[in-house]
Structure 1
């Protein structure tokens, strides 16, 4: 399997994992960060399995994310290095994002374990939930930086179309803007939803980039076979 195919498959796999993770939580009726702590307690006490799936998904998301940004950096290097600075930014931001999501998952595990032994909300549970929300808020600008860097690097090296660069700048910008309100988001502010279109744009970019890389390699292979086969 060629490098383009590996990176393309990784991009699609990451998008699929993130979509599955969010679908599980939506179907289970996961509370928002601004919901009453009583609802948070009730959800985590009754839906431990759904949270276990979501947290377990991070064990897959982290290597896929790191594999994507490092693989993209390698592709950029093999195409003459155009966009290399942006790809290095994506690698650094992706590493930071991975660390933040690891913390986010650990805090979420703490919320679940605390909720299982409580008959009612406690200050410890509320603090763990707020720290979990704060970690998610911090992940937004890290994801935005990763998105912008990856989108600009991929376009500069000719790996993606122009509209994907625009999508990266717009979506990454929204994620960065939402991240500025980290304190408010940790306190349950609806400003979180400023970043949600940016997160959706990230998923679209992952899928589009993955498909484009897979198709580009397939088209190149067909062209090579035609050149190698003499006309009858």
Structure 2
């Protein structure tokens, strides 16, 4: 069985995801979207990048690739993780509710952010404690999470918010919100709690050799290891 890291035209974090998973001993392979998912797929990663140049909307064209129908069929049976552009693809594919739109600053933002763990009842956050603060990098121009009040209330009621942007002490404030996301939401799970999307990059904070030079730390290991387990 293997984790399929789906590559679209314009993906650029697929190798990052592959290396981070490999560091944790996960059997993963990059799969070109036109080739479809292998029969033994045991997990799916939709990586970051700029699929199809972010034309129309970020993730909109990749979401219409036939492979995403396969991903939708597997959702609920295997873990599916969308990161950054992969989160946008997942949202555009209706794997998760809400949408990711242009940052409040109307600029591309690349920085480290703090996140508060909002739920541990998922395959992605089970290694953390509820309320724990982790640090991951972001790199996006369309990361602002938007959702209707009704659907946001449902997410909160069903404990489906993964992370919220916060300060180093875990305070969820507007100042700690890098992109203007509704209620500081940085990631959510779908109706199948084994499907998740988030804008921060765990794969960029998972390798000790990179952590030493970038200052990113290794908090991403917890999420990827939980995903693998």
Query: Is the pair's TM-score, using the shorter chain for normalization, greater than 0.5?
Result: no
TM-score range, shorter chain: under 0.3
Higher-RCO chain (CA-CA 8 Å, sequence separation at least 6): 1
Q: TM-score, normalised by structure 1?
A: 0.27
Q: TM-score, normalised by structure 2?
A: 0.27
Q: Which has the higher strand share?
A: 2
Q: Which has the higher helix share?
A: 1
Query: Greater Rg, structure 1 or structure 2?
Result: 1
